[in-house]
Copies of this chain bind each other. A is one copy, B any other.
Amino acid sequence: MHGENEVVVLRLGHRPGRDNRMTTHVGLTARALGADRVSIAGAASDSKATIEDITDRFGGPFEVELTTEPRALVRDWAGTVVHLTMYGQRIQDVEADIREAHASGPVLIVVGAEKVPFDVYEQADYNVGVTNQPHSEVAGLAVFLDRLFEGRQLDREWENADRRVVPKETGKRVEPVDEE
């Protein structure tokens, strides 16, 4: 987000077809909850197009990229690497340290689909469990981002949107955005 160190989400293990929707949801969740960029390992051009379409309509900045070198991204990351896994340390035990790390540098959040290679566990600065229960990489990412930013992402501004949802008690209201 603007004025903060960069937060990037790396989606590992995307299987074309089978994972399209989950990968799209990972990317849209990253965007909505304050990350600056999602990098998807694999042939995920459909997901990329969907996420970019949402960004075109509802605003950014938010970047989507496909990568064939996810391990290099992890290995060469000049900051803190967090791998979300149900086998990791409890989020409530490590989140304060990670927030401190984010105050001084960028954070890469690694989210797997199926099995994650063991070297990711070894290269991560933090393996973090959003519960040690099996659930959803989308849910884990969402809770992690909300706690990383302590809710600041809910008040962010969106640039270059062509529409905006106006919060309502009942029903739907979407307004065009006029920017000079």
- A7, chain B: closest CB distance, angstroms: 15
Q: Which residues of B contact A143 (CB under 8 A)?
A: 33, 142-143, 146
A168 within 8 A of B: yes
Whether the pair B138, A171 counts as a contact (CB closer than 8 A) is no
Q: What is the number of residues of chain A that contact chain B, defined by CB distance less than 8 Å? A: 55
A171 to B122, CA, bound (A): 8
Instruction: Report the Cα distance A122→B171, complex, angstroms.
Output: 8
Known: A91-B154, A154-B91. A136 touches B167 (CB 8 A): no
Q: Are B29 and A170 in contact (CB under 8 A)?
A: no
Asked whether A47 is an interface residue with its Cβ less than 8 Å from the other chain, the reply is no
The answer to whether A139 touches B87 (Cβ under 8 A) is no
| CB pair A88 B168 closer than 8 Å | yes
Cross-chain pairs A/B with CB under 8 angstroms, 19 sampled: A22-B25, A25-B136, A28-B134, A29-B135, A32-B131, A32-B134, A33-B131, A58-B133, A58-B134, A86-B165, A90-B167, A92-B151, A121-B172, A122-B170, A131-B154, A133-B158, A140-B142, A142-B143, A143-B146
